[in-house]
Structure 1
Amino acid sequence: MQTTADFFCAFCGEPNCTFVDISAGTQQSYIEDCQVCCRPNILYVRVDEDTLEVEIDTDYEG
């Protein structure tokens, strides 16, 4: 099951949208390039078990 979630690039601060597979667990992390500056971001994804709301924190890759 997938949903979309927004995050801000850790490098340029621009908003991005990503797909999150909520069936992959309540805590996930992966790397995704910014859609604006193309730099890699580490996404730390948390999914609320009850509401299935997604929260994303970002960090620099490298």
Structure 2
Amino acid sequence: MLPFLTVNCPYCGEPQDVAVDDTAGDQQYFEDCQICCKPMWMSVSLDPDTGEIQLSARSQDD
């Protein structure tokens, strides 16, 4: 089962839960906002020591 993390959309600012594939290591990809449908550039990183997942979202133009 994939973990869910909360991230705020860089466009509309609404928080949303996003499923993150924690088996794929560090990754970047586009995912549409569930509220305003604009593309968010998602960045996932895993701390190698703790296994903690960090998720951030930014606009397509950033």
Same fold (TM over 0.5): yes
Match status 1:16 vs 2:27: no
Secondary structure at 1:2's aligned position in 2?
Answer: coil
TM-score (norm 1): 0.81
Q: Give the structure with the higher percent strand.
A: 1
Give the number of aligned pairs.
61
Structure 2 residue runs of 5 or longer lacking an equivalent are: none
Q: Aligned-residue CA RMSD in angstroms? A: 1.6
What is residue 52 of structure 1 aligned with on the other side?
A: 51
Structure 1 residue 2, shift from structure 2 partner: 2.0
Percent identity between the aligned chains?
A: 39
2: CA distance, partners of 1:52 / 1:4: 15
Structure 1 residue runs of 5 or longer lacking an equivalent are: none
